[in-house]
């Protein structure tokens, strides 16, 4: 009930066809990542022009974060590909476009439940197009229908087995053990420097509290209890939580992806503690560890500077396209903001991955505007 089915099915299909070989699944992911580059170009070409589309696709193809993620068995590569398909058909519009956009958004939610809350953004995008109102309403309803139909088999399965018409029981669990867990650890003076260390620090304490409050029944019943306890903890310490959430959001937005790739390639295997220090808010220690542990500083600094340039270019692209009367920059900016906020105190660079295509389209637009001034 916690995990949605599409990514496990993706891996299972690979194993069924070619045997239990993770390398084959990785090859499929590399193909999906390559197709994502193609759809980056097609989206940019449709919205802007070939020059901007090429820059956006090139930036995406060269992104160390996505190069790394395509090599490991995580949901991000499939999830990002499905979001790009949903967006491509959203801007293409027409009956088929609306239906396919809704269907691919549904498949995205079946890969990672966080996509469930993207559908309102796409519906608003459809409703604010320059088309007759009748067409806009019909298109939105078609997309919503396709989205609901795509999700319905899994929703019905959960209702049959657990009595809940819900996508996943993961929401309450994550909010309690990670969002509220990090908050609890920090309030107790424990320097939890990484999301995966939360359970080590306060996991037993959290489980005891949950047990006292009636963790029983189905996973969805437990999720409701976890959610209630998490909101109670966060509500009592809201200012402290907001600071933690802001820190995690900034880490998600600005954490360089190169360290994932360096570690994967065996170039930098030592645990530097830089990321963990940032997560705990200890900037001085983060800088000290960065210098002390000999991380390839020039690569880290280069990507950090590039990320700053990308955000500045994206802001310029957002403004210039809005001045031209375009609606799509609002959708793209909201998607970037949504994924950054969704990670919260569990900040990590890889959670930025699904937002990158939308950020890079805006950034490419802004960069070309600056170059042609």
Please determine, for residue 293, whether its predicted confidence score (pLDDT) is greater than 90. Answer: no
**Token pair 């589309």 in the structure block, residue:** 53
- Mean pLDDT of the 158-164 span: 90
What is the mean predicted confidence (pLDDT) over 5-31? 93
> Measured between alpha carbons, how far is 44 from 363 in angstroms, rounded to an integer?
11
Average pLDDT over residues 258-263: 76
Whole-number pLDDT of residue 270: 47
Whether the per-residue pLDDT at 246 is higher than 70: the answer is yes
Residue 143 has pLDDT above 50, yes or no: yes
Average per-residue pLDDT in the chain? 88
Higher pLDDT, 294 or 112: 112
Three-state secondary structure string covering the chain: CCCCCHHHHHHHHHHHHHCCCHHHHHHHHHHHHHHHHHHHHHHHHHHCCHHHHHHHHHHHHCCHHHHHHCCCCCCHHHHHHHHHHHHHHHHHCHHHHHHHHHHHHHHHHHHCHHHHHHHHHHHHHHHCCCCCHHHHHHHHHHHHHHHHHHHHHHHHHHHHHHCCCCCCCHHHHHHHHHHHHHHHHHHCCCCCCCHHHHHHHHHHHHHHHHHHCCCCCCHHHHHHHHHHHHHHHHHHCHHHHHHHHHHHHHHHHHCCCHHHHHHHHCCCCCCCCHHHHHHCCCHHHHHHHHHHCCCCHHHHHHHHHHHHHHHHHHHHHHHHHHHCCCCHHHHHHHHHHHHHHHHCCCCCHHHHHHHHHHHHHHHHHHHHHHHCC
CA torsion angle 122 123 126 132 (round to 10): 180
> 269 pLDDT exceeds 50?
no
Q: What is the predicted pLDDT for the residue at 328?
A: 95
pLDDT at 45: 96
**Least confident window among 138-142, 209-213, 277-281, 329-333:** 277-281
83-87, 250-254, 335-339, 355-359: lowest mean pLDDT where?
A: 250-254
Predicted confidence band at 279 (pLDDT cuts at 50, 70, 90)? low
Domain boundaries defined on the chain: 5-167+300-372, 169-236
Q: pLDDT tens digits for 28-46?
A: 999 999 999 999 999 999 9
pLDDT at residue 193 above 90? no
Q: Would you state the pLDDT for residue 368? A: 93
Least confidently predicted of 149-158, 197-206, 251-260: 197-206
Q: Is the pLDDT of residue 115 over 50?
A: yes
Tens-place pLDDT, residues 163-181: 888 889 888 888 888 888 8
Segment 241-261 mean pLDDT:
87
d(CA 149, CA 114): 18
CA distance 280 to 272: 14
**What distance in Å separates the CA atoms of residue 236 and residue 70, rounded to the nearest whole number?**
40
Measured CA to CA, the distance from residue 56 to residue 157 in angstroms comes to 40
Percent of the chain with pLDDT over 70: 89
């Amino acid at each position: 009930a916690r995990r949605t089915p599409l990514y496990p099915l993706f891996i299972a299909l690979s194993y069924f066809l070619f045997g239990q070989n993770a390398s084959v699944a990785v090859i499929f992911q590399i193909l999906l990542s390559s197709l994502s580059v193609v759809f980056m170009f097609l989206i940019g070409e449709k919205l802007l022009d070939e020059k901007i589309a090429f820059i956006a696709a090139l930036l995406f193809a060269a992104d160390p974060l996505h190069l790394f993620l395509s090599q490991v068995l995580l949901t991000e590569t499939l999830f990002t590909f499905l979001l790009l398909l949903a967006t491509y058909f959203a801007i293409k519009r027409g009956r088929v476009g609306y239906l396919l956009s809704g269907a691919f958004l549904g498949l995205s939610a079946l890969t990672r439940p966080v996509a469930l809350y993207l559908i309102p953004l796409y519906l608003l995008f459809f409703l604010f197009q320059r088309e007759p109102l009748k067409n806009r309403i019909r298109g939105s309803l078609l997309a919503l229908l396709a989205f609901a139909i795509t999700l319905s088999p899994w929703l019905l399965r959960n209702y049959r087995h657990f009595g809940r018409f819900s996508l996943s029981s993961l929401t309450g669990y994550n909010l309690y053990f990670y969002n509220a867990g990090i908050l609890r650890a920090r309030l107790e003076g424990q320097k939890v420097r990484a999301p995966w260390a939360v359970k080590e620090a306060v996991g037993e304490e959290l489980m005891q509290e949950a047990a006292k409050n009636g963790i029983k029944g189905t996973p969805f019943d437990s999720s409701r209890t976890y959610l209630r306890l998490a909101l109670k903890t966060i509500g009592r310490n809201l200012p402290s939580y907001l600071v933690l959430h802001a820190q995690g959001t900034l880490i998600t937005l600005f954490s360089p992806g190169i360290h994932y790739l360096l570690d994967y390639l065996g170039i930098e295997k030592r645990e530097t503690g830089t990321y963990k220090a940032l997560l705990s808010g200890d900037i001085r220690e983060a800088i000290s560890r960065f210098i002390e542990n000999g991380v390839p500083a020039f690569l880290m600094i280069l990507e950090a500077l590039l990320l700053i340039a990308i955000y500045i270019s994206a802001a310029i692209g957002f403004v210039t396209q809005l001045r031209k009367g375009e609606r799509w920059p609002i959708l793209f900016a909201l998607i970037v903001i949504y994924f950054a906020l969704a990670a919260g105190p569990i900040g990590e660079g890889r959670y930025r991955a699904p937002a990158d295509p939308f950020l890079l389209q805006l950034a490419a637009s802004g960069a070309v505007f600056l170059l042609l001034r």
